[in-house]
Amino acid sequence: MNVKTDLNIESIVWVKNEIDNALELVRQQLGNYSRNPDDITQIKACRDHIHEINGVIEILGLNGVATISQQMEKLIDVFVDNESKPDLKLDLFSRATWALSRYFDELINGADNNPFRLFPVYQELVQEHGVHGISEGTLFFPDLSIRVPLRDDSPSPDSSIIVEAATKKNERARFQGSLLKWLRDTTDKNSLQQMLDVVRCLEKIPASIEQKTFWWVSLGFFDSLLNEGLTVDLLVRRLCARIEQAIRRLDNPTAAIDEQLMREVLYKISRSKIVTEHIREIFKAYGWHEQIPSNEQAVKKEKLEAILEEMHATLIEAKGAWIKYNDGQKNNLSLLLTHIRKLKELAVQIKYQSLEKLITVIGGTAAHLNIQPQAMSEILAQEFAISLLLVESALDNFNAFSPEFTRQVKVISVRLRSAVQGKWDKSQMSMRQGPDGISSKAQEKELMAQLSHECCANLKQIEEVLDGFFRDSTKNYELPMLFPLFKQISGILVMLEYDRANALLVACRNLIEEFSRFDCEHKQSEQVRLAEGLSSIGFFIEALKYEQHDCINIIEAAINQFGSDVVAAAVPLPVPKFVPSAPDRLDPLVSAVLSDLPTVQIETTTSQEASPGTQEVLLGTF
């Protein structure tokens, strides 16, 4: 089920790197602690980073997601403050960090904000506190501000506070008696009908919108139980008892409805079959179109994701070993074989034959090189690289495999065997293209990631210098050093043909140039305009990395705020000149931009061990 809430995706994209970095530090510190359990400072550092993550998630308004990191922080607090040092399940913490990383990736890629997807790991964390029988509804966060179609039951002319009080008292007694009978025998439909009638009566009593909504929803809950739309379990029994407590609290006119109880009742209804029209109304009111997956399904999904995550990590290690092998460190081939064997074992568990076959062929190729290292060639290096990229693409899109994947595996298998046997036929196989352009797509994706990283790094430097200047305007002499950074970012935006984004960037640069003059008196509003313009460019570039197609809207909104006339008047910065020594396998304009960037390195080298005239291919696309 999709639980739709308003999300500020731009803000999530902007802080995603910060969250990822903090989670990666947590994993590193957990690893350090596992190797040296006496170093408690590693766990304390973990707590600091998790606390930081909590703050960021809460600022984003993702309180349901924050419950995960909050539970992690509580466990670490107990561990640090307890002198006896209870066992700390490091593997559980590691899984929790990966679960959070995946969740934010899913949000950025268009998934709805439904914290229930995190329930399996949340349940494990809570159980470490000694709490069992947790309801899945704890992480169910539907929009409670929705106005539901309440019945228009006007109070009767003789209604009064005294009559209402008597009604509540009588109905409470009727509900309690029926609940006790039903708890003894959950097949007693007469008792269920009595409880449903009580809730229907309470719904008619004048009350706040929130209270009437709660009884309207509770009516659906008992409707489902009466018509066997839900299975009766321990959590259902507990929920009935909590509804009885809510009826008791009606004696207090200022008592508010328990939001957690409301969410858990809604969760149970969302798991119900649509057995009555009232339940259908509830589904319609909250925008539900299907039942949410059962906890069993969620656990299976969690296990699958854990395997895929492990495959991702192993693939990264394999690619690293392959790069080092190509760089002349031949002892890395045995390490590569180890990683591929592990990939094969994991592939068997996810039961996808085409992916398993691809990994088998890759392993066979590596094993052949181990026996006959002279079989290595430029063509084989490229085909091996493409095959690893195809595995990566399969893992990235595991839930949406292309129908062409099986054919792609057959093609790359033939190409690898031909390359390793020295039977490459140039007339039948293109040396530059992988199956269905997988090589070029992967290179494009990696290049975009590199360019995005460089732009964001430059923007961060710009913002740091500006922050110092805004605090002390005498530091305007530092501003001219920012212009080369603007030139680099501008070159990238021009190369990618994002003219509107570049125009906004140039307008920001021009405003900084004005600030750099000693006779310039800048206003607070101009500072705000500049900061918002640069932030929007940062949001835009981050969104590009995650392939969000509507990200240009960020720029258009920022231009309207900055001043469309000012942006239109901005003259584009000169594009860096082409440097002949840049790699000829890239477009000249791409090479020109990369040649001017300090942190993006594209190399080609000639292996000393390779045969004369054979150029070793550095797998920079990894």
Please give the single-letter amino acid code of residue 533: G
Please give the single-letter amino acid code of residue 617: V
Quick: pLDDT tens for 97-118. 888 988 888 888 777 788 878 8
Quick: pLDDT tens for 159-206. 444 455 567 788 889 999 999 999 999 999 999 999 999 999 988 888
- Residue 293 above 60 pLDDT? no
**Minimum mean pLDDT range among 3-7, 242-246, 305-309:** 3-7
- The domains of the chain are located at 9-139, 161-285, 298-431, 443-622
Q: What angle do CA 575, 577, 579 make, to 5 degrees?
A: 140
Name the pLDDT band for 600 (thresholds 50, 70, 90).
very low
Higher per-residue pLDDT: 13 or 247: 247
Residue 290 has a pLDDT of 58
Name the pLDDT band for 611 (thresholds 50, 70, 90).
very low
- Residue 87 above 50 pLDDT? yes
**Minimum mean pLDDT range among 78-87, 320-329, 431-440:** 431-440
Residue 237 has a pLDDT of 92
Average pLDDT over residues 344-353: 85
CA 530 to chain centre: 29
Element housing 379 (H / E): helix 378-396
**Minimum mean pLDDT range among 196-205, 214-223, 376-385:** 376-385
Quick: pLDDT tens for 395-410. 877 766 566 778 888 8
Mean pLDDT of the chain, nearest integer: 77
CA distance 447 to 273: 49
Name the pLDDT band for 4 (thresholds 50, 70, 90).
very low
DSSP per position, 498-552: -HHHHHHHHHHHHHHHHHTSTT----HHHHHHHHHHHHHHHHHHHHHHTT-TTTH
Residue 150 has a pLDDT of 83
Quick: pLDDT tens for 315-325. 888 888 888 88
Name the pLDDT band for 547 (thresholds 50, 70, 90).
low
Average pLDDT over residues 22-40: 85
CA 375 to chain centre: 42
Residue 195 has a pLDDT of 94
Query: How is residue 38 written in tokens?
Result: 């006496």
Domains 9-139 and 298-431 share a fold: yes
Residue 582 has a pLDDT of 32
CA 600 to chain centre: 26
Exposure on the CB side of residue 7, measured as CA atoms within 13 A? 21
Residue 331 has a pLDDT of 84
Residue 253 has a pLDDT of 67
Residue 437 has a pLDDT of 47
- Residue 620 above 90 pLDDT? no
Average pLDDT over residues 126-141: 80
Residue 214 has a pLDDT of 93
Quick: pLDDT tens for 493-519. 877 778 888 889 988 988 888 888 766
CA distance 580 to 442: 25
Task: Report yes or no: 521 and 602 within 8 Å, Cβ to Cβ.
Answer: no
DSSP state, residue 151: -
- Residue 588 above 50 pLDDT? no
Residue 162 has a pLDDT of 47
Residue 37 has a pLDDT of 83
What percent of the chain has a predicted confidence (pLDDT) above 90? 13
- Find tokens 């009466």 and name the residue: 226
- Residue 577 above 60 pLDDT? no
Domain made up of 298-431: CATH architecture: Up-down Bundle (1.20)
Residue 175 has a pLDDT of 93
- Residue 594 above 50 pLDDT? no
The pair phi, psi for residue 61, each rounded to 5°, is 80, 15
Residue 399 has a pLDDT of 64
Under CATH, which number does the domain 9-139 receive? Answer: 1.20.120.160
Residue 182 has a pLDDT of 94
Residue 86 has a pLDDT of 60
Does the predicted TM-score (pTM) go above 0.75?
no
What percent of the chain has a predicted confidence (pLDDT) above 70? 77
- Residue 82 above 50 pLDDT? yes
Higher per-residue pLDDT: 420 or 197: 197
The pair phi, psi for residue 605, each rounded to 5°, is -130, 165
Task: Report yes or no: 342 and 394 within 8 Å, Cβ to Cβ.
Answer: no
- Residue 217 above 90 pLDDT? yes
CA distance 395 to 319: 14
Average pLDDT over residues 141-152: 81
Higher per-residue pLDDT: 548 or 563: 563
DSSP per position, 405-417: HHHHHHHHHHHHH
DSSP state, residue 576: P
The pair phi, psi for residue 616, each rounded to 5°, is -75, 135
**Minimum mean pLDDT range among 342-356, 392-406, 462-476:** 392-406
Residue 490 has a pLDDT of 84
Quick: pLDDT tens for 10-30. 788 888 888 888 888 888 888
**Minimum mean pLDDT range among 145-154, 197-206, 444-453:** 444-453
